Chains A and B, each alone.
Chain A
Amino acid sequence: EVQLVESGGGLVQPGRSLKLSCAASGFTYSNYVMAWVRQAPTKGLEWVASISTGGGNTYYRDSVKGRFTISRDNAKNTLYLQIDSLRSEDTATYYCALRFDYWGQGVMVTVSS
């Protein structure tokens, strides 16, 4: 059974950093493109970033380029999202997704002073 479990969220002050993790199991993790998607309160779904199987290719939406870094550890079956210089508009539930076929339950990030 595919499982994706996010962690690392919480309440963070503007300008600080946070690193989200997504622990994957139940499939051959290194074979699949992975992604992060977020949903701000009362807003729709928003693709954030994707990473290739080996981690050599990464893709970001314009609004997070330079502040977000997606990475993966195929030995640990874990996906990461490093978020720097947090802004209030980054407040959202962040989901990790396996090819958009399987999704984690989501982790909440709240940016507030």
Chain B
Amino acid sequence: DIQLTQSPSSMSASLGDRVSLTCQSSQGIGNYLSWYQHKPGKPPKPMIYYATNLADGVPSRFSGSRSGSDYSLTISSLESEDTAIYYCLQYDEYPLTFGSGTKLEIK
């Protein structure tokens, strides 16, 4: 099975900071990786699909990138509403797998 390793597991940053979250794949998955924002009591919200494409309605301060088997979700200027757990998902092959998540908090 493909393992996705997310780092860091948690972090806190200040409003306006540039923040990058990382997801490393144990095998090649091409660009078949997406990112989700998850807040308590709500369903996951798609943020990025196919590694670099912004999902509908997602603010432009979010972006996705890929370098080999390393994938990143970057927030260019952190806002208070960005507090959440962020998960990556590989959909290249079954079984599909999520990373363990990065909990992002505001200082």
Q: B62 an interface residue at 8 Å Cβ cutoff?
A: no
**Least CB distance, B77 to chain A, in whole angstroms:** 26
Q: State the total of A-B contacts with C-beta under 8 angstroms.
A: 46
Complex alpha-carbon distance, A106 and B31, angstroms: 28
Known A-B contacts A100-B89, A100-B91; A47 and B98 likewise in contact (beta carbons under 8 Å):
yes
In which size bucket is the chain A interface? 10 to 19
List of B residues within 8 angstroms of A35 by Cβ: 96
Judge whether A45 and B98 touch: CB under 8 Å. Answer: yes
Q: Mark B78-107, 1 if CB is under 8 A from A, else 0.
A: 000000010101010011111111000000
Q: Mark A56-73, 1 if CB is under 8 A from B, else 0.
A: 000111100000000000
Known A-B contacts A45-B87, A100-B91, A101-B55; A106 and B43 likewise in contact (beta carbons under 8 Å):
yes
Overall SS of chain A's interface:
strand
B interface residues with partner A (beta carbon < 8 Å)? 34, 36, 38, 42-46, 49, 55, 85, 87, 89, 91, 94-101
Q: What 17 additional pairs, Cβ within 8 angstroms, besides A45-B89, A47-B98, A106-B43?
A: A44-B98, A44-B99, A45-B38, A45-B44, A45-B98, A45-B101, A46-B98, A47-B89, A47-B96, A59-B96, A60-B95, A100-B91, A101-B46, A101-B49, A103-B43, A103-B44, A103-B45
A interface residues with partner B (beta carbon < 8 Å)? 35, 37, 44-47, 50, 59-62, 95, 100-101, 103-106
